[in-house]
Structure 1
Amino acid sequence: MAKQHAYPARVIWTGNRGEGTQSYKGYDRSWDLALEGKAVVSCSNDPVLGGDPAKYNPEDMLVAAVAACHMLWYLHLASSAGVTVVAYEDTAVGEGVMNPDASGNFTSATLHPKVTVRAGSDLEKARRLHGEVHKYCFIARSVNFPITIEPEIFEE
């Protein structure tokens, strides 16, 4: 039987300059992600849509969630398979389109994990494990766009 999980999110709009949404350009697209017991993350809209480029936006967080979920499951699978990972870094990129009616969607994401394994590890197994991750990754299984993984495996 499947086990149900809940993931609360508390989003608080912080962009009221005093007159709310009375005019389209009269408010900021800023907000806080604030969950009890966790650090507050100040966020904004995509800069293309008037957001603050110094803050994370929902699109950044979606791509980061895909990459982080992949990494965490990869580390789990590597540990179970006897592959000792000593370093992991990813420079993931999400691609999207904005339609003429201002709607948009992601069309793909590409992960570029650079994985360093302990000398003597099975490099082919380390590479192959990336292909197994999306069987388990909650985020990857939930999005409706393709995710490509282009790993590089190094020995320490």
Structure 2
Amino acid sequence: MATYTSTLTWVRGDEAFADGKYSRAHEIAFDGGVTMPASSSPHVVKLPLSREDAVDPEEMLVASLSSCHMLFFLDFARRGGFVVDAYVDQAEGVMGKDERGRIAMTQVKLNPQITWAGDKQPAPEEIRELHHKAHEACFIANSFRGDVAIADGEAH
């Protein structure tokens, strides 16, 4: 099995800490060499204590699920003899209370817009089947306890 790593770095600097008015901004470095600014969500910790121009954990969860689903979808489409020119997904995550009464990401809705190429175009039922197979194979979806819905499709 593979191991994935990231390094998160937060430094307080000159700010006070005990009063809770410290910046939540930090950096996350990934094993491939990419470093990105991160922060708490402005929906959770109000500006200026969070950064609007940084990725937050909730966005990363939604993006990772969307990315994983797309990667499997593209592979299954290729195996089915279809050609995809573009795949754009404006995924949305919904926070709410889970079955334990805890605040959690309870649903992620994928809204993929796919541009197909070539003479062999998939029928709507074939597209639904590609999404179903991608969902079943997606490592992140298999790790996520909430519902995953695909626009114009069923919840998984």
**In which range does the TM-score fall when normalised by the shorter chain?**
0.7 to 0.9
Distance 2:128 2:118 in 1: 15
Say which SS state the counterpart of residue 24 (structure 1) adopts.
coil
Q: CA deviation at 1:37?
A: 4.3
Q: CA deviation at 1:17?
A: 3.3
Q: CA deviation at 1:104?
A: 2.1
Distance 1:28 1:98 in 2: 27
Distance 1:36 1:107, change over 3 A: closer
Runs ≥4 residues deviating over 4 A = none
1:102-145 C-alpha deviation (Å, 9 max, x unpaired): x6211101000001111432233234211111211000000000
| Residue of structure 2 in register with 1:31 after alignment | 26
| Residue of structure 2 in register with 1:58 after alignment | 57
* Structure 2 unaligned regions, length at least 5: none
> Superposition pairs for residues 5-44 of structure 1, below 5 Å?
5-14=2-11, 16-19=12-15, 21-25=17-21, 27-44=22-39
1:8-47 C-alpha deviation (Å, 9 max, x unpaired): 1211114x1314623211x100110113542210111010
TM-score normalised according to structure 2 size: 0.83
TM-score normalised according to structure 1 size: 0.83
What RMSD in Å do the two structures reach over aligned CA positions?
Answer: 2.0
Contact 1:113 1:151 in 2 (8 A): no
Distance 2:32 2:118 in 1: 39
* Structure 1 residue identity aligned to 2:25: S
| Residue of structure 2 in register with 1:113 after alignment | 112
Contact 1:115 1:151 in 2 (8 A): no
Say which SS state the counterpart of residue 140 (structure 1) adopts.
helix
Contact 2:5 2:31 in 1 (8 A): no
Q: CA deviation at 1:54?
A: 1.5
